[in-house]
Every structure is written in structure tokens, then in C-alpha cells.
Amino acid sequence: MEKVTETKSLIGTDGGSTVEISPFLQKDSPEPLYSQLYHWIKKEIEEDRLLPGMKMPSIRQLTTHLKVSRNTVVSAYEQLQSEGYLESVPKSGIWVAEIEKPTLHQIEKIHPIRSECKPIRDVLVDFEYGNVDLDKFPVKQWKKCLSDAVDQENSWLFEYSEKQGELVLREEISSYLLQSRGVRCVPEQIVITSGTQNSIALICRLLELQGKRVAMEEPGYSGVRSVFVDQGCFIEPVPLDKDGLSVEYLQTSKAKAAYVTPSHQFPYGMVMSISKRNQLLDWAYQSGGFIIEDDYDGEFRYRGQPIPSLKSLDEEEKVIYLGTFSKSFLPSVRLSYMVLPPSLMEQYSQKFANYNQSVSPVIQWALAIFMQSGEFEKHIRRMRKQYQRKHQILLKSIEQHMGTKVKIVGEKSGLHILLKLHNKSNNELIEKALQKGVKVYSPERFWLRPTSESNSYIMLGFGGLSSEEIEKGVKILASCLT
């Protein structure tokens, strides 16, 4: 009989400590793992072995410790939270909740009719956005690049990285951007960062945006919006036209900077027209404001010719270009970059003179070697073909099983699409789908000011799913529309 573990140890019951749990889970049992975990934790709480105020392991910690899928832990935790056994505290964690125990008389009275709540079923297909296809990832080649980076006979391995990032990587990025996105820049304009949010935080300091208005597409990427707000900026939500952000509205906004996703608007997926791009650049030239262009998945376009970046049209250096390796390579390398106009580079060097580089030099060198070898371009071509195939299967499955019950939005590029529901709330569909083992998501959080329109969409990410999972997920989802 295969089992995960059969021991349990608890450490610390005060506010800051995390309890360690090791439940007995039988992988060959007909009962799903998430159900076993749910019942085990519930029993520990009811029998006072897990006490109110104890901090539970995070989803990631428990997934790693038990060697089970993330969905197993999420499903168990969600059910326990819905029943009041656990509570989630934002930015704090998941805690054992205070439960009002019935008196002995009440226990005796209700015991004969006591029944277990039926837990939600295992998640069969998860359309979460942001996942990438790991089956086709060149693990062997990447390991060799990591090994080659460490084996180099240079002292850099024992030192801090260059403040803007390793020159060898910035040179490769500069060459890649010219070939793939039409961006002309020199390595001295590139700053390596540990993610897009890190880039935005630096830009806020660089442009002194605290207390200033920053324009954002409405809807737009909430992860970036949160950084702007945390940095003390005032968000000016700019409505969208069919070809992107409304420049007319922007011109009346008094914004000092505008954050845009012109090559694949997030989350709607529209492409900004060339005339609107020129209008946006004119706004920057005339107002003195800066445009922050987030080209988060510009490599993956499935219809028509590749769209040149907004930065490639910028003649007066008013566009700050943001790129990332999270979608094109691996999210776990935590490596993004920004291309700063020359006018801002001197200010950057002064303001951040005492800031050390946040990305490991080993990772930077390994990626530079990976790009120098030509493996990165091969990987992009391979993944573009792979994602295009999945994209086609997704659209075909939706057409076959859903027909006119939904409208597909943003289907020309990227790793997600939206489905607009006709006369139906997304909450109802999300709940029904989850009961059948399919997770889909509401994009409502991407609106600063949600409307009735915002809850008529669901978001389907397909990057990390197999073709079979996509087809199965869509078929089940379609059955929930009846």
C-alpha cells in the first residue's frame, strides 16, 4: 500500500509559528487525496489536536511536503474554509478558526443525524492563466547552461552582479529585441529586474510618480495596478475602444505616465492600431508624459504578421519598454527587463546607485549562454507552434460544444482568451464548472471600477494544459451552460 506519510508533528502554537502536519494519505485508495486530506484536518480540529490560532502550512509548503498536486491542497483548504474550520487572513496566511463547540447535551441530541458535508470533487482541468507548457521545455539544455555558467573560471561567481544586470545578458537581449520586436537599443539602456512588478516599482521612483496620476487601460493588469497604488500613485482608468486605449480620454486625464499593453491588450486581447499608436506617441511628445509599454507575451501571435512594438515607433524616446521571460521561458527564473530612454539612464544611475541587482548572476549568465547557443530562438519557435496548436484546439472545441452560447474575445494571440456569456453571470458558471471538476476564472479583478459588463466574462488560460485537457475542459464547461 503506497502512502504519503503517517506521522504528525506540531511545532509552536503561538501567533507567528506554522504548524507542521503529516497526514496519512493513501494514494491507492478509491477516496480522492483531497478528500482524505480534508477529512484528516477536520478530525484534527474537531478533536482539539489542531487548535484555534494555529497557523496552517501554506498551499505551496503542504504541496511540497506531501508530494501531492497543488489542486489537492487547494480543494481541501477551500472546503474547510467554506465550512468555517479554517480562515484565510490576507497577507498573513491560513489559520485554524475559532469554533463554538456545542454542549454535551447538544452533542448527544444531534449525533444520530450527523452527516459529513460532501466535499467538492477533484479538479480535472484548471484553466488558470499564467501557466506555461513544461512538457516541451528543454530541461537538458537548460541544466547544461546552468552548469556551464557555474564552471566558468571567473571571479564573478563570488561577487555581486552588475547593478544593471550582467552585460553579457544585456547584449543578448539587445540583439534579440532588434530582431524580434524591432526595438533599437544598446545594452547600456537595459536594466535587468526580478519581474514586471519590480520594474514598475523602479519606474515609479525614477519618474517621481508618487502623488501623480497614472493612466491605465480599463480593464487592465491588476498586478501592476497594485504596485502603482502602493507607490502612492493615483490611477486614472482609461476606457478602451475596439482598437485599444482611448487616446481622446487620455488627453483630458492630466496623467504623467500611461501604462499600456498595445501588442495584446490585457485581458481583452485587442491589438492597438497603428494610427492609435501614433496618437499615443503624440500625447507623450506634447504632454511630456512617458508611456510604459508592457510587451508581456509579444512572441505569441497566431494570426497575421508579428506586430512591431510601440517602442520601435518612438522617435523622441518617450517609451519605457518592459519585457519578461516568464511567458517565453520560465516564470521561476524571475527575470524581466526594461529598456530606458537615454534621458532617463543618467537619472537611474544617480537614484539607484546604492541598489544591488536583484536577479542571481548565475541565472543571468546561464540565460545568456542559452541565448548565445541559439537554443532560446529554437525554444520560442517550438513553443509558438505548440501554443498555436493548443489555441486552435481551444477555439475549435468552443465552437463545437458551445456554438453561439458564448462569444470569443481576444483570440489572435497570447496564452489566454475571454468568453463573453450571453445573459448569464460568470459566478454561476464558475460554481457549476467547479462542481464538475473544471476551474475557470472571472477577470473582474482587472477592472478598477467593475460594472455589470465585467461579470459577464470568464477567462481561460491554456498554456499549461494538454490538448486532451483542453478538449475535456471545454466539453464539461459547455455542459454547464444548459
Closest CA to 219 of 442, 444, 459, 456: 444
**Residues 127-139, buried b or exposed e (16+ Cβ, 10 A)?**
bbbeebbeeeeee
pLDDT for 215: 96
Task: Please tell me whether the peptide bond between 342 and the residue prior to it is cis, using omega within 30 degrees of 0.
Answer: no
- CATH number for the region 33-117 comes to 1.10.10.10
pLDDT for 104: 38
Closest CA to 378 of 143, 137, 171: 137
In 285-439, DSSP assigns E strands to 290-294, 319-324, 336-339, 406-409, 416-421, 438-439
Residue for cell digits 472546503?
79
Task: Please tell me whether the peptide bond between 267 and the residue prior to it is cis, using omega within 30 degrees of 0.
Answer: yes
pLDDT for 121: 58
Residue 368 has pLDDT above 90, yes or no: yes
The model carries a pTM of 0.72
The predicted-structure confidence for 240-269, as pLDDT tens digits, reads as follows: 998 889 999 999 999 999 999 998 888 988
pLDDT for 83: 77
Distance CA 195, CA 161 (A): 16
Identify whether the C-beta of residue 19 lies closer than 8 Å to the C-beta of residue 55: yes
Identify whether the C-beta of residue 293 lies closer than 8 Å to the C-beta of residue 307: no
Residue for cell digits 527587463?
337
Residue 233 has pLDDT above 80, yes or no: yes
CATH 3.40.640.10 domain extents, the chain: 153-374
- What residue type is 171 in one-letter code? E
Give the confidence band of 439 by pLDDT, cuts at 50, 70, 90. Answer: very high
pLDDT for 139: 87
pLDDT for 212: 94
In 289-421, DSSP assigns E strands to 290-294, 319-324, 336-339, 406-409, 416-421
Give the confidence band of 306 by pLDDT, cuts at 50, 70, 90. Answer: low
pLDDT for 328: 79
Strand partners, 421: 406
| Angle subtended at Cα 339 by Cα 177 and Cα 196, rounded to the nearest 5 degrees | 100
Mapped onto helix, strand or coil, the DSSP state of residue 74 is: helix
Residue 243, all three cell numbers: 482598437
- What residue type is 410 in one-letter code? G
Q: Among the CATH numbers 1.10.10.10, 3.40.718.10, 3.90.1150.10, 3.90.10.10, which is that of 378-479? A: 3.90.1150.10
Mean pLDDT confidence for 63-83:
87
Residue 170 has pLDDT above 90, yes or no: yes
The predicted-structure confidence for 104-141, as pLDDT tens digits, reads as follows: 333 333 333 333 444 455 789 999 987 878 777 888 99
CATH 3.90.1150.10 domain extents, the chain: 378-479
Mean pLDDT confidence for 458-465:
90
Q: Regarding the domain delimited by 153-374, which CATH topology (the fold level of the hierarchy) does it fall under?
A: Aspartate Aminotransferase; domain 2 (3.40.640)
Mapped onto helix, strand or coil, the DSSP state of residue 37 is: helix
Give the confidence band of 14 by pLDDT, cuts at 50, 70, 90. Answer: very low
Residue 6 has pLDDT above 50, yes or no: no
Distance CA 472, CA 79 (A): 24
Mean pLDDT confidence for 386-411:
90
The predicted-structure confidence for 415-434, as pLDDT tens digits, reads as follows: 888 999 987 778 889 999 99
Residue 1 has pLDDT above 50, yes or no: no
Strand partners, 239: 218
Closest CA to 28 of 6, 63, 1: 1
pLDDT for 118: 44
Phi, psi torsion values for 56, nearest 5 degrees: -80, 155
pLDDT for 472: 95
Give the confidence band of 311 by pLDDT, cuts at 50, 70, 90. Answer: very high
Average of per-residue pLDDT values in the chain: 85
- What residue type is 326 in one-letter code? S
CA distances from 358 to 21, 165, 183, 206 (A): 33, 9, 24, 17
373: number of CA atoms within 13 Å, CB side?
Answer: 18
**Residues 351-383, buried b or exposed e (16+ Cβ, 10 A)?**
eeeeeebebbbebbbbbbbbbeeebbeebbeeb
Give the confidence band of 280 by pLDDT, cuts at 50, 70, 90. Answer: very high
Residue 391 has pLDDT above 70, yes or no: yes
pLDDT for 9: 39
Mapped onto helix, strand or coil, the DSSP state of residue 227 is: helix
Identify whether the C-beta of residue 242 lies closer than 8 Å to the C-beta of residue 465: no
Contacts of 445 (CB under 8 A, 6+ apart): 222
